[in-house]
Amino acid sequence: MYAEIKAAVDSVKVLSSILSASKDLRHFNELASAVSELYEKLLTALTAALASKETEAALRERIRLLEQEVIEHKNWDVESQDDALQDVGMGVFAYVYKPAMPTTKPRHWACTACFEHHKRSTLQWSKGVYNCSHCGTSIQPFNQQGFPVSIADAYKTSQGSS
């Protein structure tokens, strides 16, 4: 009878240890589930942080480009001070180079289409027409007598009327 009681006690011990292990296993599963949920939240946070960094980098690049554009506009304002839009002959317009200070830079006309886009393109004389090599604009100014106007004539006209 002692052996049976001992076997029963041993069985209860084994059952108790199985129940304890089962309880520990349930806690492990809960812990594993919590860890898994924590990893998901960390992954979401890291994804958001990465997206934020990418957005920040894009915004920094946009700021750099806008600052560069502001500098270019300021430079253009200074560079274009010596040019004036002028009727160079019978309603034909060009930007005429009129420096405020004496310079060795030759007198010239600039294309109005290019100038409005902050680009200076000097008009070139060819076969009675002034052509812009950049955009293809052509002008053919005439004086009141019907003769083609030269760049020098435009300076005489502008100086006489200024």
pLDDT digits 0-9 by tens, 83-129: 999 999 888 999 999 888 888 888 899 999 999 999 989 999 988 89
Domain map of the chain by residue range? 81-161
pTM of the model: 0.56
For residue 41, what pLDDT is reported?
A: 84
Chain center to CA of 159: 43
Where does the pLDDT of residue 144 fall: very low under 50, low under 70, confident under 90, or very high at 90 and above? confident
Chain center to CA of 73: 15
Q: How is the beta sheet containing 138-139 ordered, strand by strand?
A: 123-126, 129-132, 138-139
Contact indicator for 82, 100 with CB cutoff of 8 Å: yes
Residues 61-72 pLDDT 10s:
999 999 999 999
Question: Distance between CA 38 and CA 112 in Å, rounded?
Answer: 65
Q: Name the average pLDDT for the chain.
A: 83
